[in-house]
Chains A and B, each alone.
Chain A
Amino acid sequence: MTTTPFRTGFREALGAPALAMGATFLAFGAAVAEAGLSLPWALLSSGAVYGMAGQLVLLGVATGPGGAVLPAVAAATAANARFLPMSVAIAPLLGRGMLRWLALPFIAITPWAAAMRRLPGLRESARPRWFLGFALASWTAALAATTVGHLLAPVLPTALRAALLFTNPLYFALLLAADLGRPGVRGAVIGGALAAPLALWLGPAWGLLAAGLVGGTGAFLVGRR
C-alpha cells in the first residue's frame, strides 16, 4: 500500500499528540457537563472554536454570574488571538493552492506546533496534505475525547481530571525543549518564559496574548541585531 502524505500525517498524529489533546479535551468535556451545558455545546466548542485557552475562558465567563455575551466573546477571542500569528507563520508552508484554505479550521496549537517542525522537510506539494491528515486525526481525537469526558463526567474523579489537564503543558514543554536548537526558536522560548508573569497581572483572557507579544517581539528584535 502506498503511503500518501495525508496518511503519514494522520498516522503521526496518533501518538503523543493525540494523547495530549485527548486528555485535555476529555477534561474539558467533563467540565462542560459539570457546568450544565449540553454535549452538542461541548462538541461545537471543541470542534469549531478548537483552541483550549479560549474554550476554557468562554466556559467560565459564559456560564459564570451574569453570563454576558460580548465580554465572554471578547475574552475567549483574546485568549485565542494566537490564531492570527500562528496562521501568518504557517501560511507560506501550506502553499498557495486551495488546500491551504481547507486547513483553516484546523489551525490550532497542536497541529501547528507539529507542522512547523515537520513541513519544512517535506516537498512543497506534500505539505498541505500532510497537515490535513495530521489535523483531521487530532481533531477527531479531540471530538471523541470531548464526548467521552462529557458522558463520564459524573464518575470522573476531580483529581484525575486535573492530572489529565497537565498532559497538554507537559507535551508542549517536551516539544519546545526538543526544538531549542532550531533557528529562531530558542530566543522566542526564553522571551515567552520571561514575559509569562505579565499574564498573572493581566488575567487569563489578555495575559497570554500580552506575554506572547512582548516575549516574541523582544526575541524577534534581539535576533535581528
Chain B
Amino acid sequence: MSSADLALVLTVLAGLLLRAAGLALGGALRPDHPFIAWANAVSVATLSAFVVLSIAAPGGLLATVPWPARMAGVAAGAAGWRLFRGGLLPALLAGLAGLLAAWTVS
C-alpha cells in the first residue's frame, strides 16, 4: 500500500468518525438545545467563508480564473436568480455563462 493509499484510508476513517460523533451527539440532545443552534451557526459560517474565499481569494486551479471573470460569474448568477425567480439551475447556468463570457473577452 502506497503512502497516498494509506493517507486516503485514514482520512476516510477520520471523516466517518466525525460524522458518527456528530450524529450521536446531536441525536442525544433536544432539537432546541443551544449546542444544536451553535453547531448550525458554525456550519453555515464555514460555508459562507468557503464561498467568500472561493470568489475573492481562491487557491489552486480556481486562482487561474481572472477576478473580473469571477465577479462577472457572481453578477450573472445573481441576475439569473432574479430573472428566473429563484430557480437555482438557470441561475447557476447563467453564472457559468457570465464567467466564461467575461473570461473570453478578457
Residue numbers of A with Cβ under 8 A of B are 15-17, 19-20, 27, 31, 37, 41, 44-45, 48-51, 53-54, 56, 58, 60-63, 67-69, 72-73, 76-77, 80-94, 96, 100-101, 103-105, 107, 109, 112-113, 116, 158-159, 161-163, 165-178, 184-185, 187-193, 195-196, 198-200, 204, 208-209, 211-217, 219-220, 223-224
Contact = CB atoms under 8 A, between A and B. Distances in A.
Chain A contact residues: over half helix, strand or loop, or mixed? helix
Size range of the chain B interface in the assembly: 35 or more
B45 A88 contact: no
B50 A88 contact: no
A191 B23 CA distance: 25
Nearest to B11: A76
Interface of B: 3-8, 10-12, 14-16, 18-27, 29-31, 34-57, 59-62, 64-65, 70, 73-74, 77-78, 81, 86, 88-89, 91-93, 95-96, 99-100, 103
Contact of A88 (B14, B36, B46, B56): B36
A192 B45 contact: yes
A225 to B, nearest CB: 13
Contact of B40 (A178, A188, A195): A188
